[in-house]
């Protein structure tokens, strides 16, 4: 599998995906406590 960080588009998409994952994490596990 190709490393997404080898392309600019892959890097930006990875950044948005990571943002979504962290958003779900913080809303459901940190801010609800």
Partner 1 sequence: MELILDRWFHIMAGIVWIGLLYYFNFVQAVALPKAKADNTAAGITKHVAPQALLWFRWAALVTWLTGAWYLERSGIGLGAAFMLKGSAATIGLGAWLGTIMLFNVWVLIWPNQKKVLGIVPADDATKAKSARIAFLASRTNTMLSIPMLFFMVTGSAAHGLPRLF
Which lies closer to partner 1 via its Cβ, residue 1 or residue 6? 6
* Residue 9 sits in the site that holds partner 1 (CB under 8 A): no
| Burial label, 12 (beta-carbon count in 10 A; 0-12, 13-18, 19+) | exposed
* Residue 28 sits in the site that holds partner 1 (CB under 8 A): no
Q: Enter the tokens of residue 27.
A: 């809303």
Which lies closer to partner 1 via its Cβ, residue 1 or residue 33? 33
Residues that bind partner 1 (CB under 8 A): 3, 5-6, 8, 11-12, 14-16, 18-19, 22-23, 26-27, 30-31, 33
């Amino acid at each position: 599998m190709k490393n997404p960080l080898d392309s600019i588009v892959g890097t930006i998409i990875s950044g948005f995906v990571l943002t979504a994952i962290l958003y779900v994490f913080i809303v459901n596990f940190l801010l609800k406590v």
